[in-house]
């Protein structure tokens, strides 16, 4: 059974930075896709960024140029470097893995104060 464990959320002022990490336990094959989604209060969960095991990336328009997704395949870990954070980035951020199923982390809160 694959489990995803996220870390790195917190409270930051607008303009600041945070690094989220997500480690997948268990044996994971390729190809696969890992990524990040977020859900703000009263809104639907939305894609933030994804990265394939071949390092192809995809970003939401709202985060392009500010966020960078990366991964370490040897550690089954995906990262999200978030720079120039805005109050509208405030949400619970969820890690996602697609490989023989669709797996989700428990979520980590990111709060950006103005």
Cis preceding linkage at 31, omega within 30: yes
Instruction: For CA atoms 48, 52, 54, 58, give the dihedral sign.
Output: negative
Distance of CA 1 to the CA centre of its chain: 20
d(CA 88, CA 21): 21
Residue by residue, pLDDT tens for the chain (114 residues) are 899 999 999 999 999 999 999 999 988 999 999 999 999 999 999 999 999 999 999 999 999 999 999 999 999 999 999 999 999 999 999 999 999 999 999 999 999 999
Closest CA to 17 of 86, 64, 70: 86
Three-state SS for 3? strand
């Amino acid at each position: 059974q694959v489990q995803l464990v996220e870390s790195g959320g917190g409270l930051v002022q607008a303009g600041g930075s945070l690094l989220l990490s997500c480690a997948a336990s268990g044996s994971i094959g390729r190809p696969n896709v890992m990524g990040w989604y977020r859900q703000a209060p009263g809104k639907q969960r939305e894609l933030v960024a994804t990265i394939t095991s071949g390092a192809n990336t995809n970003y939401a328009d709202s985060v392009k140029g500010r966020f960078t997704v990366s991964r370490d395949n040897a550690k089954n870990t995906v990262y999200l470097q978030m720079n120039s954070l805005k109050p509208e980035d405030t949400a619970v951020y969820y890690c996602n893995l697609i490989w023989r199923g669709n797996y989700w982390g428990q979520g980590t809160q990111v709060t950006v104060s103005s």
